[in-house]
Amino acid sequence: MKPEDLLRHPLPAVTPKLTLGCPLLDRLLHGGVPCNAITEIVAESGTGKTQLSLQLLLAAQLPTSRGGLSGASLYLHSEFPFPVRRLHQLSLVCRLELPHNPLDSIFVQPLYSADHLLDVLPRLDFLVPRLNIKLIVIDSVAALFRGEFENTGTELKRRSGIFFKVSSKLRLCARKFGLAVVVTNQVVDVMESSNSLRIGNSVSLCSSGRRVCAALGLSWANCVNTRYSVRIINTRGDSVS
C-alpha cells in the first residue's frame, strides 16, 4: 500500500447510523450509534446496559431503511450467563419484520480474560466479512479488566498497553468493514476527598443518589470515540447524558 492510497478525497460520505429502537434516544444521538467508530455505554449495574446491547444486536439486522445495518452482529460477552431467554423474547418482535429468524444472525462468543480478547480480535479480520457482521458488541470491557490486574505501577502500565492495542484493532476493523462497535463499561464511585480527574462533560454524574464516573480510568477514556452515560433517577426512568 502506498501513502497515496490513504487519501480519501472527497471526504467519506455521511456515516451510517444504527437505531437504538427508541425515537427519543435516536434523536438525542442524531440518528443512533455511528459506524466506523467505537461507542461506549457507561452505566451502573441494573440500568439496562445488557438490555440495550441485546436490542442493538437485533436492530443491526433491520434493513437500512428502518435504521438498521442489514447485517449480522457479534456479541462478545464477559458477564455470565448469556441472557438467551431474554434475547429470544426480544427477537419475537423483530421476527415479524425480517425474512429470517433474527437469532440465526447473532453470533455469540464468551470472553474469559483480557488475553482471550486479544486472541479473538485477530480472528475478526476473517470472520467479519465471511459472516457479514455489521455490529460488534463487547459486554463488558470493565469485567475483563477490573479483576485481573493488580493496583501496581507495572501492572497498570501493562493494562493501558492492552487498552490501546484492543482499541487500535477495533478501530481498524470498524474502519475496514464499516462496523459499528459498541462497548459497555461499569462505573466507579467518586470519592469526595480525592481531587478526581475530570473526563468528559461532567465530573461525575448522579445515579440513584451516588456520584459515579466511568471505570477503567484515563487511558481507556482515550480509546473510545463517543461515550454515553446512562443513569437511574428515582428508579422511575433512565436518562442518557
Partner 1 sequence: MEVSSLPISASQRGKLISAGYSSLSSLSSVSPSHLARDLKIPENEAVEILKVASRRSGSDKIENGSHVIMNGAQTAWDMLHEEESSICITTSCSDLDEILGGGIRSKEVTEIGGVPGIGKTQIGIQLAVNIQIPADYGGLGGKAIYIDTEGSFMVERALQIAEACAEDMLEYNSLLRKDSQSHQANIEPKAFLDNIFYFRICTYTEQIAVINYLEKFVFEHKDVKIVIIDSISFHFRQDFEDMALRTRLLSGMALKLMKLAKKFNLAVVLLNQVTTKYNEGSFQLTLALGDSWSHASTNRIILYWNGNARYAYIDKSPSMRSASSPYAVTGRGIRNSSSNCKRVKLM
- Rounded to an integer, what distance in angstroms lies between the CA atom of residue 45 and that of residue 140? 11
Per-residue x/- track, 31-50, partner 1 (CB under 8 A): ---x-xxx------------
Tell me the C-alpha to C-alpha distance, in Å, between residue 141 and each of 52, 109, 185, 197: 15, 14, 6, 21
Residue 192 as a binder of partner 1 (CB under 8 A): the answer is no
Q: By C-alpha distance, which of 30, 31, 97, 88 is closest to 63?
A: 97
Annotate 136-167 with DSSP letters as a single string.
Answer: EEEE-HHHHHHHHS-SSHHHHHHHHHHHHHHH
Residue 236 as a binder of partner 1 (CB under 8 A): the answer is no
- Segment 194 to 223, residues that bind partner 1, using CB under 8 A: 197-201, 203, 218-219, 221-222
> Roughly what angle, to the nearest 10 degrees, separates helices 153-177 and 124-131?
30
Residue 241 as a binder of partner 1 (CB under 8 A): the answer is yes
Given candidates 116, 158, 210, 211, which one binds partner 1 under the rule CB under 8 A? 158
The least CB distance from residue 68 to partner 1, in Å, is 19
Give the binding site for partner 1 (CB under 8 A): 1, 3-4, 6-15, 28, 30, 34, 36-38, 153, 158, 160-162, 164-165, 168, 171-172, 174-176, 197-201, 203, 218-219, 221-222, 224-225, 227, 239-241
